[in-house]
């Protein structure tokens, strides 16, 4: 089963890093967050990826075309203009890199990679979020519910502490950065049937996947939610990048399932 990854956005809220690279190439522990996402899927045996490129997509192309150069010992023979690679730390990834347009929105990006997917179920996620979601459990859930689309639903941690007040406005309880247990949000890590492309007809370049396509799937009763209560973290801003890096350096990277 193939895995599609959105990796074309401008990443304006992380401009400290994205002036020179696309957000999926911002590094955590010396590796792009895109690599971390691929490692999550690869751990469960899913190694075939389709990456939707856009803003500075050439940086992602250069990374993968030079992967051996970056990750192996090598001997350069200048006389023969040859390179011998040794002790490669290469992954088993097969990566299709698709130029989907710098300003194309997510529905248009997904529409453009249909030809690389074929008539089969596939997975889809965002190139800036990591999780310890159990992919085999997610797939079983998708297969059991027979819907066109399954989204991983997560509860976002609050940025602020929560107060419970009594009738006299005294603080009865304090919870630091509690989860919002009343609200489930889109955490990516989708599983989709090929019928989903029926919801991506016409010119989709200015359409977000999260708007009309997902709204119509929900209205038609074709969108299931897989509830994930474990770790999930997007890299939306610099503070998120710093938090993820701190978790990695402290050997507390909960998304590191490999």
Contact 60, 51 (CB under 8 A): yes
d(Cα 66, Cα 107) in Å, to the nearest integer?
Answer: 30
Is the pTM higher than 0.75? The answer reads yes
- Structural domains of the chain in order of their starting residue, each with its CATH number: 3-249 (3.90.550.10)
Average pLDDT, the chain: 91
Contact 138, 187 (CB under 8 A): no
Name 188's bridge partners. none
**In the prediction, which pLDDT does 15 show?**
83
Condensed to tens digits (0 to 9), the pLDDT of residues 135-173 reads 999 999 999 999 999 999 999 776 656 666 767 655 666
d(Cα 115, Cα 119) in Å, to the nearest integer?
Answer: 9
Contact 198, 207 (CB under 8 A): no
Contact 10, 18 (CB under 8 A): yes
Residue 133 has pLDDT above 80, yes or no: yes
Condensed to tens digits (0 to 9), the pLDDT of residues 64-111 reads 999 888 888 889 999 999 988 887 777 889 999 999 999 999 999 999
249 CB-near residues (< 8 Å, 6+ apart): 29
Place of tokens 């609050």: 158
Encoding tokens for residue 192? Answer: 């989709």
Contact 129, 234 (CB under 8 A): yes
d(Cα 121, Cα 148) in Å, to the nearest integer?
Answer: 9
């Amino acid at each position: 089963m193939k895995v599609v990854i959105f990796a074309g956005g401008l990443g304006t809220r992380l401009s400290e890093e994205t002036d020179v690279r696309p957000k999926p190439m911002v590094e955590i522990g010396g590796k792009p967050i895109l690599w971390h996402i691929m490692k999550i899927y690869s751990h469960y045996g899913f190694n075939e990826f389709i990456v939707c490129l856009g803003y500075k997509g050439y940086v992602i192309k250069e990374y993968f075309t030079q992967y051996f150069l970056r990750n192996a010992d090598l001997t350069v023979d200048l006389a023969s203009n040859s390179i011998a690679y040794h002790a490669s730390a290469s992954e088993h990834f097969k990566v299709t890199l698709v130029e989907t347009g710098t300003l194309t929105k997510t529905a248009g990006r997904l529409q453009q990679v249909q030809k690389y997917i074929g008539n089969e179920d596939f997975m889809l996620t965002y190139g800036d979020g990591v999780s310890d979601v159990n992919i085999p459990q997610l797939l079983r859930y998708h297969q059991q519910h027979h819907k066109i689309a399954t989204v991983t639903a997560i509860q976002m941690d609050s940025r602020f502490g929560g107060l419970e007040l009594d009738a006299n406005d005294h603080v009865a309880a304090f919870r630091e950065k509690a989860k919002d247990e009343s609200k489930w949000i889109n955490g990516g890590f989708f599983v989709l049937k090929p019928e989903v492309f029926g919801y991506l007809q016409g010119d989709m370049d200015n359409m977000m996947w999260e708007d009309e396509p997902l709204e119509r799937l929900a209205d038609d009763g074709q969108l299931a939610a897989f509830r994930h209560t474990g770790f999930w973290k997007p890299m939306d801003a610099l503070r998120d990048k710093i938090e993820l890096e701190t978790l990695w350096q402290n050997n507390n990277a909960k998304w590191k399932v490999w």
